[in-house]
Amino acid sequence: MKLNSCILFSLLTLPVFAQQPQNAIQRVQQRTFTIATLPQPGEVLTLQQAIAQSTEKNYQVQINRSQEEISRNNYTKGNAGYLPVVSGNVTSNGGLQNLDQTFLDGLRPRQIINGIFNRTTNLGLNVNYTIFNGYGRSATYNQLRQLVQISTVTTRANVEATVASVATGYFDVVRQLQRLIAFTQALDISRERLELARATYDVGTRSKVDFLSAQVDYNTDSAALLSQEQQLRNAKVLLNTLLVRDVQTEFAVRDTIQVRPDLQLPPLQESLATNNPQLVAAVLNRTLADVSIRLANAQQLPIVTAQAGYNYQFINNQGGFGVRNARNNGLTYVFQATIPIFNGYNLKRQIQNARVGTLIAQNQENDQRLQLQSALVQTYQAYQNSLALLNLEVQNNKLANQNVDIAYDRYRIGNSTFVEFRDVQRNAIDAQIRLIEAEYNAKAAEIELLRLSSTITQELVQ
């Protein structure tokens, strides 16, 4: 009876093993999709397309560009007070009257007039010009220029932050796809084990515990695959949000995560010191604080203004008394000098506050520089560590796959238990996930380094 069972088991398993590769890993590798061949709904979205769409439609970037346009519109000599103010005025006063007059001398008869129209019209042109205001105009013009530069670097900072967010989100979709492939491969291995456990249980060479354990592990891996599919959908929703479009838009990616291994710290530090928009904005804010001191000091000096005007007056009086018709015109001018003498020490207070504001701006600039340098060094260390982990996990992944291959063959011939095989399989899955995470973390650190050094648009927007 035992001999017949062995013969029956051989006949059942022979077609399975004779017609396929000799181990489960090879069969899984043949069946498992890669990112390049994985069926994905929607059109292919490249990283460059995603970046272009996000920087064009991002609401915050659009707001920054509008604010930059306002700053440029304000940067004029007229807004700084260099140009005169010209105004014209027209007034016309009139009245419709009825007269009933009796004169005291008795020589003139009573006068009754109805519908008398009297009108006085004035036309004027005035020109006001500030000749000198303590050099406040040049300080104001410089202030307007600084505001334009600040709005420009603020826009650039938000563009670079948007590019970094989109790139990180894009590669997160790739990461979730790679994890999906890993869980698909794990499920295929569990399916191979389940089929083997079912076949051996049917012929009586293995216990029902082995078969039920294989079924439980298969269900567990199926649940993990479903959960990973949800993670992929979530990553796509987040990327669609960054692209400012319908969050349910389907798209496909074909890029893999390729990490640059050649980034060096000194060039990144040099680029940060000269190009980082946050640091540039801090420097401009300090310069703006210096301008505030100039504006406050300007209030201590005299203000000289000039005013000129031309007036034309036309009178039409039908009342029969006074001037009946008249036309008057004349040119007027006024020169005025205002000298500040005492205003309750408010001017002194304003100057002191402006100087304190300069110290605050200087400290903010130094703090910003220190924080950015610290972030760059920490990110670079994380980048180097991720590269080292990536190289290590590549080797671990190869070894883990080989171990699964050996463990499966041992389990197939009965030299190991299902518990031992499951442990080996879990180690292989963990090794593959760690490899994917190390690759993604290295890429995320690379993107952050490019953002901090303000070279991200040159590197990714091509």
HSE of 207, CA atoms in CB hemisphere, 13 A: 5
CA 335 from centre of chain: 53
Quick one: 262 exposed, middle or buried, by C-beta within 10 A (0-12, 13-18, 19+)?
A: exposed
Total domains present in the chain: 2
d(CA 160, CA 166) in angstroms, rounded, equals 10
358 and 444 part of one domain: yes
- In sequence order, the β-bridge partners of residue 252 are 44
pLDDT band at 367, cuts 50/70/90?
Answer: very high
Secondary structure class of 449 (helix, strand, coil): helix
- Find out whether 408 and 377 touch, Cβ atoms under 8 Å: no
Identity (one letter) of the amino acid at 462?
Answer: Q
| DSSP-derived secondary structure letter, 273 | H
CA 28 from centre of chain: 42
d(CA 243, CA 52) in angstroms, rounded, equals 9
d(CA 56, CA 49) in angstroms, rounded, equals 11
Quick one: 445 exposed, middle or buried, by C-beta within 10 A (0-12, 13-18, 19+)?
A: buried
Residue 177 has pLDDT above 80, yes or no: yes
232 and 349 part of one domain: yes
The pLDDT mean for the chain works out to 85
Give pLDDT tens digits for 105-136: 777 787 777 777 778 889 999 999 999 888 88
Residues 6 or more apart whose Cβ sits within 8 Å of residue 282: 361, 364, 365, 368, 369
Average pLDDT for 390-407: 84
321 and 378 part of one domain: no
Q: Is the dihedral of CA 43, 47, 52, 58 positive or negative?
A: positive
Residue 16 has pLDDT above 80, yes or no: no
293 and 236 part of one domain: yes
The confidence score (pLDDT) of residue 10 equals 35
Angle between helices 418-452 and 265-275 (to 10 degrees): 40
pTM of the full predicted structure?
Answer: 0.83
Secondary structure class of 145 (helix, strand, coil): helix
Whole domain around residue 233: which residue ranges? 2-75+134-300+343-460
- In sequence order, the β-bridge partners of residue 311 are 124, 330
144 and 51 part of one domain: yes
pLDDT band at 25, cuts 50/70/90?
Answer: low
Phi, psi torsion values for 244, nearest 5 degrees: 55, 60
Average pLDDT for 293-321: 85
Secondary structure class of 248 (helix, strand, coil): coil
Helices (H), 324-415: 346-413
The confidence score (pLDDT) of residue 19 equals 41
149 and 204 part of one domain: yes
Residue among 102, 104, 233, 251 at smallest CA distance from 180: 233
- Find out whether 387 and 259 touch, Cβ atoms under 8 Å: yes
Residues 6 or more apart whose Cβ sits within 8 Å of residue 193: 24, 214, 217, 218, 408, 411, 418, 421, 425
Residue among 413, 33, 416, 352 at smallest CA distance from 187: 33
Q: What is the CATH number of the domain that holds 414?
A: 1.20.1600.10
203 and 94 part of one domain: no
268 and 362 part of one domain: yes
Lowest mean pLDDT among 322-331, 347-356, 364-373: 322-331
d(CA 156, CA 162) in angstroms, rounded, equals 10
Give the domain-ending residue among 339, 362, 396: 339
Give pLDDT tens digits for 39-78: 788 889 999 999 999 999 999 999 999 999 999 999 999 9
49 and 192 part of one domain: yes
Phi, psi torsion values for 106, nearest 5 degrees: 70, 0
The confidence score (pLDDT) of residue 7 equals 31
Name all contacts of 432-436 with Cβ < 8 Å and 24+ positions apart.
432/182, 432/185, 432/397, 432/400, 433/179, 433/182, 434/389, 434/393, 434/396, 435/390, 435/393, 435/394, 435/396, 435/397, 436/175, 436/178, 436/179, 436/182
Residue 214 has pLDDT above 80, yes or no: yes
Q: Tokens for 286, please give them.
A: 């300090």
Phi, psi torsion values for 256, nearest 5 degrees: -100, 170
Q: What is the CATH number of the domain that holds 111?
A: 2.20.200
Quick one: 174 exposed, middle or buried, by C-beta within 10 A (0-12, 13-18, 19+)?
A: buried
Residue 84 has pLDDT above 50, yes or no: yes
Residue 371 has pLDDT above 50, yes or no: yes
Residue positions counted in the chain: 462
347 and 428 part of one domain: yes
Lowest mean pLDDT among 107-121, 167-181, 315-329, 427-441: 315-329
- Find out whether 292 and 358 touch, Cβ atoms under 8 Å: yes
CA 296 from centre of chain: 36
d(CA 64, CA 59) in angstroms, rounded, equals 9
441 and 349 part of one domain: yes
- Find out whether 393 and 434 touch, Cβ atoms under 8 Å: yes
The confidence score (pLDDT) of residue 317 equals 74
Secondary structure class of 263 (helix, strand, coil): coil
Residue 166 has pLDDT above 90, yes or no: yes
96 and 223 part of one domain: no
